[in-house]
Chains A and B, each alone.
Chain A
Amino acid sequence: MHETSVAESILSTILETAGRVNAQPVGATISCGQFNALNDEVMNFAFETAAAGTVCEGMTLTIRHVPLRATCRQCGTTFEFDIYRPVCRQCSSAEFVFKPDAPLLLETIEFKDGKE
């Protein structure tokens, strides 16, 4: 699962940041697109596994799935695309123009307050 690589990647960033600000990380938010999606369950498990034994152990990971916008080539409707049901909401056609899919991002890290 590529979730393992994602987990390792964010863990090293969080550890490095935590060292720099000298604080205990308690949560992080990551985001992904629709084509480039993460599986929540697999992602959480991969992160727990990677974080075990580090200061990141027990952190909560929030995964934000950013919608993908598509415009129907037949009727021009723009809507949130469901990749598992690829038909136009309006006219049921299946030809679209896509906006770029959201990248994998580490958006925020939350640290415990009062421990500077």
Chain B
Amino acid sequence: MKLSLNQKILSRNEEYAQKNRAFFAKHKVLCLNVISSPGAGKTTTLARTIRDMKDTLTIGVIEGDIKTDTDAQKIRAAGAEAVQIETKGACHLSAEQVHGVLKSIHADTKDVVFIENVGNLVCPSAFDLGEHKRVVILSIPEGDDKPVKYPGTFAGADVVLVNKIDLSDYIEFNLQRVLADICAVNPDAQIYQVSAATGEGMDAWYDWLCQQRQQITE
């Protein structure tokens, strides 16, 4: 006997993603899911964004980390409310985990909530967290072959930040190739070249951020 179900897998995640989406819509909070390899600069980018935008945007951060809460501490030091989700070895955050901490960072009172996903370019992209947009960070020292190796992740990005451009004089990195490879799987992605360390190029990213925020409050 064969039963046809054609049922969505990860439907539980989807259920919670919908709840989160409804929450963010109701409170007019822009939610961004930030995905990258470990060390690409997610925390540094968020900390600088919080400092630079402190007069413009109230930001909250949900940190997904395998173990320690050092990232959440860095975010708090930058001046934003942060909560840590310990994934206990899991390679991605789930919508249910995000749902569980929305109250504790008072997400309803924020202009923007960032979710720093677990450092991994494969798994997080399969899990909708209910975010408005997805930000993928690729850093120069990782090499220029990442979009070809992880096309699924880049295909799902709304914005790609090419980070650590302050290192481009020291590391071989074919930017044209990266731009072409991202464009091949995702012609609509916005790509910004930045240095979260020096602040170079960050203004374009802030403009995008404010634009997105405005769109959801209109």
Contacts and interface: CB of A to CB of B under 8 A. Distances in A.
B91 A1 contact: yes
Interface stretch (B1-9, B55-63, B69-77, B104-112): B1-9
A108 B183 contact: no
Contacts of B183: 94-95
Q: Is the interface of B mostly helix, strand, loop or mixed?
A: mixed
Interface string A31-46: 0001111000000000
A18 to B, nearest CB: 10
Given A36-B126, A107-B6, A23 B151 contact: no
Contact of A104 (B10, B151, B155, B181): B10
Contacts of B9: 6, 9-10, 30, 104-106
A5 interface: yes
> Most chain-B CB neighbours within 10 Å: which of A10, A95, A106?
A106
B8 A105 contact: yes
Interface in A70-116: 73, 83-84, 86-87, 94-97, 101, 103-111, 113
Contact of A35 (B5, B7, B127, B155): B155
Contacts of A108: 2-5
Interface in B1-27: 1-13
A84 to B, nearest CB: 7
B79 interface: no
A73 B125 CA distance: 26
B91 A106 contact: no
B171 interface: no
A96 B6 contact: no
B123 interface: yes
A95 B1 contact: no
B1 A104 contact: no
A6 B94 CA distance: 12
A83 B152 CA distance: 8
Contacts of B4: 107-108
A6 B3 contact: no
A73 B184 CA distance: 11
A37 B181 CA distance: 18
B90 to A, nearest CB: 8
B164 interface: no
Contacts of A49: none
A34 to B, nearest CB: 8
Contacts of A94: 180, 183-184
Contacts of B185: 35, 83, 86
B38 interface: no
Interface of B: 1-13, 90-92, 94, 122-123, 125-127, 148, 151-152, 155-156, 180-181, 183-185, 187
Q: Which 9 A-B pairs have the closest CB atoms?
A: A86-B184, A2-B123, A35-B152, A104-B9, A83-B151, A94-B184, A35-B155, A2-B126, A111-B1
Given A83-B151, A94-B184, 12 more contacts: A5-B127, A17-B5, A21-B3, A86-B184, A94-B180, A96-B184, A104-B8, A104-B9, A105-B9, A106-B6, A106-B8, A111-B2
25 contacts: A2-B122, A2-B127, A5-B13, A5-B92, A5-B94, A5-B126, A5-B127, A6-B126, A17-B3, A23-B1, A34-B152, A35-B125, A35-B151, A35-B156, A83-B185, A86-B181, A94-B180, A95-B187, A101-B155, A106-B5, A106-B6, A106-B8, A107-B6, A109-B5, A111-B3
